[in-house]
């Protein structure tokens, strides 16, 4: 496979060239003079997605996960983490145990809850939240769990930290009523990540900067739902200016309605109503998103005016770093795995390449 | 007068040297090798101060203003704006009319209100707030008013802008419930300043970044009460990192209790209770500060770790720029007016020089 005269967007820079792909890898890159109508970027990475096109991780069979992976190629997503919501431990355990051989683009699971703060549950089902991480947790960690979102104020948070550290699982702070000091302590313990910043966090106030302020002030990596609904364009741009592109990962936080018609759906056992692209519970609480990854990418560049290499960071490289997988993906370099997206200059997705195979083409 | 081997702190940089003063001006600067125990900085400038050591602008005779200027030399303040609070127009007019020949360190007045939003009155007396700037305003502008703090959502704000612009008066946004769009419109109209950021502003939220967010996001200059009470140290440092030292001016916002014993005082006709350095109304609302300028300077450097040239900006140069007086003060340059402070390295005030005269010495 060969991409002739494309603009190559790598986290470190951009230039025009021809990219040759052989045996699933980028075999050769030949830089050329001139400009191109096409952009070749590392494939998108979505490490927080609950569901897509009617398939929800909480009810997904192994076959569903493979269908989801296929459907995600249509969105340029070449790596993702199906993300669970709060549920009884045995439900989560059964789900992980029965997930079977995972599709190669599924890098594992993200558990969002149940060890979160019920007062900051957002659209999570309060009856399944456990504000205490006890021994029963251990069994969950035997499965390919890559990220756990938890609140630092829950009982047993330090034990959870230690256990995640042992297992190489990334702990991400979310759904928390933590104040600045609690966030600072968690940071000092080694936690470096915040989930869907700043949704379901304590707000920034000028006498107590809260978990939102901690996310801006301390060197946390953050993920953001850039749909123009969960956060305003100005907020996204302000965060980008403060933290820089190195510390932001785009996520969809998508629910089953993503890629589907509007109407009534479900999240963690709660009914969700989707209208005008906005998913809400009966009480109006935002309930995940219907965001598709290419739209998140277009929104981010529109809201921030970031450079294309920065866009490659927020859409791919930074998330792969979280997954400790940036050594062979996330860059356009000879020898790197050929997980790529081809876009036009309006950032419309034209093709998705996964391990050297063209797995999606727009027409 | 001569300062031998002092560290010279100019907004543009710092170096050791000897500074000779003649006829009220800096006559010669001779750079030298080595270090010094003493810092020579431009004199402090406080453009938002209601009162000091029992003297309150709202009741001050001309003699009181001169006593205030003397007392301010003990705090290193070589330029200040006595700042009124909301009051009937005729009260303000009488006050300005009877202020008499001003002491040379008083650069004019700052009117904080009465054209503000009653829902964001802070410690201002609600009965004297006029959420509409009408024709009666004009008379006020005939006096040496340098800054007017007003809310952009009041009736007649555009007329106020135009009139201030004509007269060379700086309009500063404060005590406002303005949302981001209103702030953006005010910015586009040419307003570039925010009063005691972010106190009495709409907070920063992630779907509506408010006046606080506008202050961070747009290129507003801001003043801050850095007493560790009105804003937390982390907030101050975060603002410093976002906006940089070029856009921040330290103010005291001090009330009559500043420099006095704790107890009961008064602000705009409301009783104020001072305890533990904190001034509050009966309902607990913060009511200005008892902050003294050298403490604001020490706090700012402690909270932010800023450089000494940056400290010269936030304590002097930036405020002089607001007063359009930075051409001959605010820097340590030959020919500049000799308004200076001598400090030890712990930022304790040792001497104040005003127009070449030693007007204060610490022992």
DSSP B67-108: HHHHHHHTTTEEEEEEEE-S--HHHHHHHHHT--SPPTTB--
Nearest residue of B to residue A229, measured between CA atoms: B207
Of residues A208, A231, A238, nearest to B216 (C-beta)? A238
What is the distance in angstroms between the Cα of A128 and the nearest Cα belonging to chain B? Answer: 27
Structure tokens given for B48: 């938002």
Mean pLDDT of B107-132: 93
* Cβ neighbours for A111, distance < 8 A, ≥ 6 positions apart: A83, A84, A92, A140, A145, A147, A148, A149
Domain at A337, CATH number: 2.30.40.10
A84 and A180 assigned to the same domain: yes
ipTM of the complex: 0.92
Q: What is the pTM of this model?
A: 0.95
> What pLDDT, on the 0 to 100 scale, is given for residue B34?
92
Rounded Cα–Cα distance for residues A169 and A6 (Å): 37
Residues of A with CB under 8 A from a CB of B: 180, 198-199, 203-209, 212-213, 216-217, 229-232, 234-235, 237-238, 241-242
Whether B246 and B356 share a structural domain? no
Q: Is B219 found in the same domain as B98?
A: yes
B48 with B37, same domain?
A: no
Per-residue pLDDT of chain A (363 residues; tens, 9 = 90+): 999 999 999 999 999 999 999 999 999 999 999 999 999 999 999 999 999 999 999 999 999 999 999 999 999 999 999 999 999 999 999 999 999 999 999 999 999 999 999 999 999 999 999 888 877 788 899 999 999 999 999 999 999 999 999 999 999 999 999 999 999 999 999 999 999 999 999 999 999 999 999 999 999 999 999 999 999 999 999 999 999 999 999 999 999 999 999 999 988 889 999 998 899 999 999 999 999 999 999 999 999 999 999 999 999 999 999 999 877 999 999 999 999 999 999 999 999 999 999 999 998
Q: Are residues A190 and A227 in the same domain?
A: yes
The yes-or-no answer on residue A253 being catalytic is yes
Question: Both B198 and B336 in a single domain?
Answer: no
Between CA A215 and CA B304, with CA A222 as vertex, the angle to 5 degrees is 30
- Residues of A with Cβ-Cβ distance to B224 under 8 angstroms: none
Nearest to A358 by CA among A116, A78, A101, A123: A78
Terminal CA-CA length for chain A: 18
Region of B140 please: left (phi>0), alpha (psi -120 to 50) or beta. Answer: alpha
Q: How many structural domains is chain A composed of?
A: 2
A265-288 pLDDT per residue, tens: 988 889 999 998 899 999 999 999
What tens digit of pLDDT does each residue of A141-168 get? 999 999 999 999 999 999 999 999 999 9
Range of the domain at B152: 44-326
Using alpha carbons, list the distances in angstroms from residue B132 to B62, B96, B159. 30, 21, 10
Q: Please state, in angstroms and rounded to a whole number, the distance separating the CA atoms of residues B83 and B175.
A: 15
DSSP 8-class letter at B155: B
CATH number assigned to the domain comprising residue B115: 3.20.20.140
- Give the pair of three-digit tokens for residue A232: 């305003």
User: Is the domain of A25 the same as that of A80?
Assistant: no
B285 shares a domain with B183:
yes
The verdict on B66 and B158 lying in the same domain is yes
My answer on whether A218 and A240 are in the same domain is: yes
- The answer to whether residues B252 and B311 belong to one domain is yes
Do A353 and A306 lie in one domain? The reply is: no
Instruction: Specify whether the CB–CB gap between A231 and A224 falls below 8 A.
Output: yes
Residue numbers in A near B213 (CB within 8 A): 234-235, 238
In tens, the pLDDT along B143-194 reads 999 999 999 999 999 999 999 999 999 999 999 999 999 999 999 999 999 9
């Amino acid at each position: 496979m060969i991409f002739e005269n494309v603009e190559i967007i790598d986290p470190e820079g951009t230039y025009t060239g021809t990219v040759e792909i052989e045996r699933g890898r980028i075999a050769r890159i030949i830089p050329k003079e001139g400009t191109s109508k096409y952009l070749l970027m590392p494939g998108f990475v979505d490490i927080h997605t609950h569901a897509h096109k009617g398939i929800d991780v909480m009810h997904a069979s192994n076959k569903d996960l493979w269908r989801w992976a296929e459907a995600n190629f249509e969105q340029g997503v070449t790596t993702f983490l199906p993300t669970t919501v709060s549920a009884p431990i045995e439900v989560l355990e059964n789900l992980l145990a029965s997930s079977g051989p995972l599709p190669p683009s599924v890098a594992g699971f993200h558990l969002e809850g149940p060890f979160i703060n019920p007062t900051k549950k957002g659209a999570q089902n309060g009856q399944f939240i456990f504000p205490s991480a006890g021994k029963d947790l251990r069994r969950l960690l035997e499965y390919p769990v890559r990220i756990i979102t938890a609140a630092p104020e829950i009982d047993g948070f330090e034990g959870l930290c230690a256990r995640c550290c042992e297992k190489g699982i990334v702990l991400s702070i979310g759904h928390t009523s933590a104040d600045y000091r609690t966030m600072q302590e968690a940071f000092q313990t080694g936690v470096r990540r915040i989930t869907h910043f700043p949704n379901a966090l304590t707000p920034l106030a000028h006498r107590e900067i809260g978990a939102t302020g901690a996310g801006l002030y301390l060197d946390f990596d953050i993920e953001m739902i850039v749909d123009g609904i969960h956060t305003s364009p100005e907020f996204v741009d302000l965060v980008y200016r403060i933290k820089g592109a190195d510390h932001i990962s785009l996520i969809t936080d998508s629910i089953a309605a993503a890629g589907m018609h509007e109407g009534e759906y479900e999240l963690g056992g709660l009914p969700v109503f989707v209208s005008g692209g906005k998913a809400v519970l009966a009480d109006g609480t935002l309930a995940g998103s219907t965001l598709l990854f290419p739209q998140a990418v277009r929104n981010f560049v529109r809201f921030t005016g970031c450079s294309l290499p920065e866009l490659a960071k927020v859409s791919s490289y930074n998330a792969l770093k979280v997954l400790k997988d940036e050594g062979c993906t996330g860059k356009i370099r000879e020898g790197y795995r050929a997980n790529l997206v081809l876009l036009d200059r309006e950032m419309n997705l034209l093709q998705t390449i996964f391990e050297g195979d063209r797995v999606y083409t727009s027409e």
